[in-house]
Structure formats: structure tokens, C-alpha cells
Amino acid sequence: MKIENDRAVWVIGHKNPDTDSICSAIAYSYFKNQTAEGRFVPKKAGPLNAETSYVLNRFGVSEPETVTDVKTELKDIDYRRSEGISEILSLRGAWRLMAEKDVSMLPVTDTSDFLKGIIVKGDIAKSYMNVYGNDSLGKTRTPYSNIISTLNGELLAGNSHAFFPKGRVVIPSGSVDISKMDIEKDDLIITGDGSERLLELIERYPSCIVVTNNNRPNDRVVKAAEAIQCVLLNTEYDTFTAARLINQSIPVREFMTKKGIISFYIDDTVDYVLERVSKVRFRDFPILDRNNRFIGTFSRRNLLNGKKKQVILVDHNEKSQAVDGIDEAEILEIIDHHRLGSLETIQPIFFRNMPLGCSSTIIYMMFCEKNVRIPKEIAGLMLSAILSDTLMFRSPTCTDYDRDAAAELSEIAGVDCEELAMAMFEAGSDFGSKTPKEIIYQDYKTFYSGDIAIGVSQVSAVSRKLLDDIKPGLKDYLPTVLGEKNVSMVFMLLTDIFKETSELIMYGGNSEDIIKRAFFGGEDLPETIMLNGVVSRKKQFIPPVMQAIEEE
């Protein structure tokens, strides 16, 4: 599998992440950065629960960024990274730039890169067709630098950074006495006469004199122009051409579109962008960051070349548990310890699935196999994940591999397993500030048996009293879960870690009949459903429930 070095590979766990999901993503990202080419970055598909927050804080590790989906975004296409143009750029300068870049639109930005407008070829073409009076340059405060650039001129005197403040564009006749010409102060004069007659023109105090046909004035004329701060320039163009071109020096701000601009954010999905651009006739569009600063442009054809996000999944291989848009991503690897799920890939991938108590145990084994040194904080994370997933070795999913890994990791991290586990579980049992919704969804998963979808949530605590206190609110919220998650039935396991038992509450469909067959041999259910010895959702709850559903 080819990894593109210019883009990060996301290592991400399941939705409603638990401690193993988060710690595995961080640990495996570190491992891959030590052993493979490319850049690997941990992400998370939902908010942290209290237990995981405690673990990250304890070992001084930053919380991964949350991503809501892995759909292809504008950042994944080959868009043009460019700077905006100044609003004082001339129309001719904009036209040249469009031809050079082979684009039909240029964004106009301020000095802070905020988008002020756009200028398209149609705007420039329209400006060429319009009829302008001889006072247009003054009205638009055209910079002399624009005039010089448009006419390919040479500045002989004056300040090129100044603006043409007012006045008209005047072309005096060579046969008429200058004293009889209609020339006023601050006018701009275009003349093909480079002789000392220019001294008489300068006496009228024009703002600018354009001398055409490369008739370069002598030093006396230049000094006279400098004396009155008149901009004097020389151009190779003839008088007719100079007069025809000069209005193209007007700044683009006079013609650019300022309202109703169709722009997109860099993290907008390609699907969303395609839907919007299909309704308009423009070819090119500006891209902004989330601070509304311009960063580039794209055309319609760029949307056809989007690169899928490259991801590595840890601690899950069920499509229903994966981050949204997983079908649009390129899955490179899966590291998991659950049953085989519903994810499919276009081509073979590295898939390591082992019947262990924790995904972090698998990752620890990979560190050992590659002789990669495990930093203290990474060891602490993997140890925490093992203790969490195995309920401090009480879960039936726990194996000797998990225990051995925990023992080695505890030495590297310099912590006591029992002390760490107690601190984690106590942090996770602090439900005081949480709503029923937050508690249910902090460790919720959807499972499928054919067309039947069931939701299963599990919450663990260090005492039965803590669970009894939150039970009424959870029970009342289960009907809402049914609708929010679009499942047929929902089950909630309230697990007492140290007594190694779970109380079950449920709602929807024929959930009671399912539980009767799965755990009570078809007998009536007790008022309080206690599943003694059941602490593992994966190994002790899901299999009998799925079997009971299939037997219907």
C-alpha cells in the first residue's frame, strides 16, 4: 500500500471512544512513525470519557483532535495554492496574470488575506467594451504605477507610487498653439512631441505627461517636471495606442464582484462542493480557511482528482462503529481484538486481529517484534488501556498475553497496576456532572444481525450505589436512544467492576424475549435483571444475544 508522504495518515478508533480506542491510536501512531515512511497522526471519533481524560492528563499526553468524518475534502484535491491580488492592480495587469496562470478568476484580498472580491475575465472584457470619459482615471484614483505598467513606460520624473488625483486625459494637437489648448491644472497629457514644447505644457501644471513613440525628452524637460512634481514617463507606444490602453490601468476594485461571491472552506467536503458548483456557471472558485482568510482556488476539473483520506483503524472493524464517511477513505491497516465485522476494502490490507483482551496488547507485541523502544508515557497509555478493557484482569477476555504485557508496561511506566486501575475507575465513576445521554453514549456501540440493529451501552463503576444513583435517568432515556440511533432495541449494562456483575436495563422491540432466551432459558425475567459474572460486552453479552436473535 502506497503512503503519500505529503499527507498525514490518520490513526483512529471507533465512535464513542473508550480508553483502549484512544490510547491505541496514540501508541500505534508513535509506533508507525518509528517504523514506516510517512506521517501518522492519532485522531479520535468522539469526545473523551472521564476515565480516558484522567489517563491522558496523568501521563502528560495531548488529546487527539476530533474528526467527525473522513470524507474527501477540498484540502484533499490538487487546488491552486496562491496569493490574492491587490485591489489596485490594473485591469491589464489582471488580464496578464490570468493568461499566465491559465485561470478565469483572480481573488482580490487585503493585506491580511481577507477576501474583498473577485475579478473574472468577463469583468475585464466588459470594461474594454464600455465607453469611458476622459476623466475616468481621476475618478478611480488610478496609481501612476498602473499607468507606467500598462504602457510599458519608463519613469523619468515624479513619484510612481502616487495616485492620479483628478483631471482629464488630454491629447493636444501638434499644430495648435499651446496657449490656445484646453489644458487645465492636474490633467494627464499624452503627446508624441518630445521637444522643448513640453516646457510650455509643464507650465500648465499637469499631473502627468506621457511622451509616446520613444521621443525621450531632454534633461531640461525632466528637471522642469521634477520641479512641479509632475509624473513624466516615456513609452514606445504611439499616441493612438497609448490613448487606447490607458484606461486599462484603472484598478480592478472598480470592476470586481464584491457581493454574492461563491467561496468554500478548505474542509468542505467534495460532495457538498459539487452540489453547489453544479448550480452556477463559474469555472474557478476561491478557498478560505476557517478564519475566512484566502488560501487558494480550484476549478471544476480539480474536483475530479480528489485523494481519499488514508486511515488506519484501531480497536474496531465494524462499519457501524467507524467514523462517518469510512466508505470514502482508503483503509491502510486494521488493528483489532473484536469479532470480524462489516468493513470491506478494495484491495488487501494489513489486518492484525487477535483474541486478546485489548488492542493495546497487540500493539505492545508489535513494539517488541520490531525492537522499538517504548517511551514512558506511551507505556502508561497502553497499560491503562489493558487495565480498562480487562477490568483489571477480571474480564473473561483477559489472557496471559494481556497480563504479561501489563507487567512489562507497568515497569516501563513506573506505576503500580492496582493503584492506576483504581484511580482510573474512580475517575470514570464520577457521574455527577454528566447527563444520561452523555453516560449512555460514552461507551455505546451498534451491532447488526441481518437487518436487525441493536444498540448496546456499558457503564462501569467501582460500587453498586453509584450505578443505582444513575439508573433511573438512564432508563428514562433509552426510548430516545432508539430513535436517535435508529435501532430496533437498546440494552444498557451497568457493570460493578469489583463484584463482577452487570445489571441489565433495556427497551424496544422484543428485547425481553431475546434476553429470556439468551440468559434465562426462556423463563420469565426477574424484576431486576442481574447478570452475574457478566462484565464483558464483547465476549459474554453480544454472542448469546446475537444467537437468540438469529434463532427467532
The gap from C-alpha 103 to its chain's centroid, in whole angstroms, comes to 25
Q: What is the DSSP letter of 57?
A: H
What integer pLDDT is reported at residue 511 of this predicted model? 94
CB 479 within 8 A of CB 507: yes
Quick check: helix, strand or coil at residue 227? helix
- Beta-carbon-side half-sphere exposure of residue 525 (alpha carbons within 13 Å): 19
Quick check: helix, strand or coil at residue 410? helix
**Angstrom distance (rounded) from CA 552 to CA 550:** 6
DSSP H/E element including 350:
strand 350-353
CA angle 522, 528, 530 (to 5 degrees): 75
What integer pLDDT is reported at residue 133 of this predicted model? 62
**Angstrom distance (rounded) from CA 232 to CA 201:** 12
pLDDT in tens, 187-199: 999 998 878 788 9
CB 312 within 8 A of CB 334: yes
First-to-final CA distance of the chain: 43
pLDDT in tens, 103-154: 888 999 999 999 999 998 888 877 766 656 667 777 788 899 999 999 999 9
The gap from C-alpha 300 to its chain's centroid, in whole angstroms, comes to 20
What integer pLDDT is reported at residue 110 of this predicted model? 93
Listed as ranges, residues in the chain with pLDDT below 50 are: 1-5
What integer pLDDT is reported at residue 2 of this predicted model? 46
DSSP H/E element including 176:
none
What integer pLDDT is reported at residue 498 of this predicted model? 86
**How far from 551 is each of 35, 488, 518, 525, CA to CA, in Å?**
47, 16, 10, 19
Can you name the residues that pair with 296 across neighbouring β-strands? 81, 287
Amino acid identity of residue 478, one-letter, is L
**Angstrom distance (rounded) from CA 51 to CA 441:** 14
Q: Which domains does the chain have, with CATH numbers?
A: 8-72+309-428 (3.90.1640.10), 76-128+254-305 (3.10.580.10), 141-249 (3.40.1390.20), 436-550 (3.10.310.20)
Residues 6+ away with beta carbon under 8 Å from 41: 8, 9, 10, 11, 29, 64, 65
The gap from C-alpha 295 to its chain's centroid, in whole angstroms, comes to 13
199 grid coordinates:
516646457
Can you name the residues that pair with 169 across neighbouring β-strands? 188
394 grid coordinates:
477480571
What integer pLDDT is reported at residue 282 of this predicted model? 82
Of 143, 104, 134, whose CA–CA distance to 121 is shortest? 104
